[in-house]
């Protein structure tokens, strides 16, 4: 193995073997310490720790010139403490395994190596991405507004494809209020919240548009208290995924306009857009640059993919900064028992990332133009 691959594997192992479930603040803090130690070794400078709402994030500003490229990663994972005991770090037959290795600790290790010695780069490593970035969103958006381009180290799509589109996400809770009554003696005196909820489910599901890639999915529902009582209340969670801001706004207006069908029932809608979409226009220029760099390195030009899942790249694209996602590890099984990384791709992907950053630092003009979203 090359020296770089040996170092990458050692760094991924150090990160994987410090478990970091997002909801465990002490675990995330311990993980941040490990990331800081590994990063200081590779980058030659200590990070700035940023603790927000008890969650630990790390920021490196590299070089003496103003930062122009933002590398974005996270060190929290979805795996609870104890997962490592039954799924330890391993490398066998060219496959690396361990909780969080694909999403996205290998990508984080790659970023630490790719950014070494560069001038004008910020590396931001957050600790709450897997739960929606509640504390780090403002920090991410602030850094993105100051950057010419954002490169996100989330794992690649199938076959190493870069993620050029991510759907925006909206999350809603629908609360139904009815009126309780005895289901056997006088059901007609009640207002059935379950029945009202059924009307709402059908209305919401009808807001989707398959041709536009818009999905409106009623998910977790609860209703009633006992089997012989007309339910007086019910709740419903709704997951919305959209490709464009226009669709996100259309669905938001429609969900908030939901009205009760049964006389005497009441509806309250809470929630709203959680992440704006990462649209193709935000990543197009960076994708072409990445393909050009790959060719110059003698690598196959990476493919592109539109995915339904969201990342912090949605936030950076949402403020109008060109964003390219999926630059991390090649493998599969994010959030699943078969999570893995293909070792043979680690060095090449790291070289691609470093080459792309250097290319952008030399000439950011083709991606500098504001591409939409919020103010910069």
Q: pLDDT tens-digit profile of 68-83?
A: 999 999 999 999 999 9
Q: What is the mean pLDDT of residues 301-327?
A: 96
Res 1 pLDDT > 80 = no
Q: State residue 376's pLDDT score.
A: 44
CB neighbour class for 153 (10 Å; exposed up to 12, middle 13-18, buried from 19): buried
Residue 8: name the closest of 359, 354, 360 by CA: 354
The Cα–Cα gap between 251 and 205 comes to 11
Residue pointed to by tokens 């709704």? 238
Residue 29: name the closest of 44, 49, 47, 43 by CA: 49
Mark whether 11 is an active-site residue.
no
The Cα–Cα gap between 101 and 332 comes to 10
Q: State residue 375's pLDDT score.
A: 42
Res 268 pLDDT > 80 = yes
Annotated catalytic residue within 7, 128, 129, 130: 129
Per-residue confidence band for 367, with pLDDT thresholds at 50, 70 and 90: low
Q: State residue 368's pLDDT score.
A: 52
Q: pLDDT tens-digit profile of 280-296?
A: 999 999 999 999 999 99
- Domain ranges, ordered by start, for the chain: 3-167+277-368, 168-275
Q: pLDDT tens-digit profile of 240-257?
A: 999 999 999 999 999 999
Question: What's the whole-model pTM score?
Answer: 0.89
Contact at 8 Å (CB) between 111 and 38?
Answer: no
* First-residue to last-residue Cα distance in the chain: 44
Question: DSSP code of 104?
Answer: I
Dihedral (CA of 162, 167, 168, 171) sign = negative
Per-residue confidence band for 308, with pLDDT thresholds at 50, 70 and 90: confident
Annotated catalytic residue within 7, 11, 19, 76: 76
Asked if the 3-167+277-368 domain carries CATH number 3.40.630.10, the reply is yes
Tokens of 227: 């089997």
Q: pLDDT tens-digit profile of 321-345?
A: 999 999 999 999 999 999 999 999 9
Tell me what the pLDDT averaged over the chain comes to: 95
CB neighbour class for 130 (10 Å; exposed up to 12, middle 13-18, buried from 19): buried
Q: What is the mean pLDDT of residues 146-158?
A: 97
Q: pLDDT tens-digit profile of 66-120?
A: 999 999 999 999 999 999 999 999 999 999 999 999 999 999 999 999 999 999 9
Contact at 8 Å (CB) between 299 and 125?
Answer: no
**CATH node for 168-275:** 3.30.70.360
Q: State residue 370's pLDDT score.
A: 43
Largest CA distance in the chain: 79
Q: What percent of the chain has pLDDT over 90?
A: 95
Res 271 pLDDT > 80 = yes
Mark whether 363 is an active-site residue.
no
Q: pLDDT tens-digit profile of 177-224?
A: 999 999 999 999 999 999 999 999 999 999 999 999 999 999 999 999
């Amino acid at each position: 193995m090359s020296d770089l691959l040996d170092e990458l594997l050692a760094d991924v192992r150090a990160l994987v073997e410090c478990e970091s479930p997002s909801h465990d603040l002490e675990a995330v803090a311990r993980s941040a310490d490990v990331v800081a130690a590994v990063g200081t070794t590779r980058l030659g400078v200590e990070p700035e720790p940023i603790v927000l709402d008890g969650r630990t994030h790390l920021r490196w500003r590299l070089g003496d010139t103003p930062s122009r490229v933002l590398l974005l990663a996270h060190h929290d994972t979805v795996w609870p403490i104890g997962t490592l005991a039954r799924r330890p770090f391993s490398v066998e037959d060219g496959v690396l395994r361990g909780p969080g290795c694909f999403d996205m600790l290998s990508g984080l290790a790659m970023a630490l190596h790719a950014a070494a010695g560069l001038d004008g780069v910020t590396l931001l490593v957050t600790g709450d991405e897997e739960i929606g970035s509640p504390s780090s969103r403002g920090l991410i958006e602030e850094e993105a507004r100051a950057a010419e381009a954002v490169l996100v180290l989330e794992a690649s799509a199938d076959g190493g494809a870069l993620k050029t589109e991510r759907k925006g996400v909206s999350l809603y809770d629908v609360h139904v209020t009815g009126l309780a009554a005895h289901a056997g003696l006088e059901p007609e005196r009640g207002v059935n919240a379950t029945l009202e909820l059924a009307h709402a489910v059908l209305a919401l599901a009808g807001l989707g548009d398959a041709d536009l890639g818009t999905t409106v999915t009623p998910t977790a529902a609860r209703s009633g208290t006992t089997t012989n009582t007309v339910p007086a209340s019910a709740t419903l969670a709704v997951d919305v995924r959209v490709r464009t801001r226009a669709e996100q706004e259309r669905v938001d207006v429609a969900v908030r306009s939901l009205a009760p069908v049964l006389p005497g029932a009441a509806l309250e809608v809470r929630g709203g857009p959680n992440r704006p979409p990462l649209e193709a226009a935000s990543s197009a220029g960076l994708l072409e640059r990445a393909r050009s760099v790959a060719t110059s390195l003698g690598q196959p030009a990476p493919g592109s993919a539109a995915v339904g899942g969201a990342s912090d790249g949605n936030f950076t694209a949402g403020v109008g900064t060109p964003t390219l996602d999926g630059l991390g590890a090649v493998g599969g099984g994010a959030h699943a028992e078969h999570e893995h990384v293909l070792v043979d791709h680690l060095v090449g992907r790291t070289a691609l990332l470093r080459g792309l950053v250097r290319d952008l630092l030399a000439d950011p003009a083709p991606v500098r133009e504001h591409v939409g979203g919020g103010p910069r």
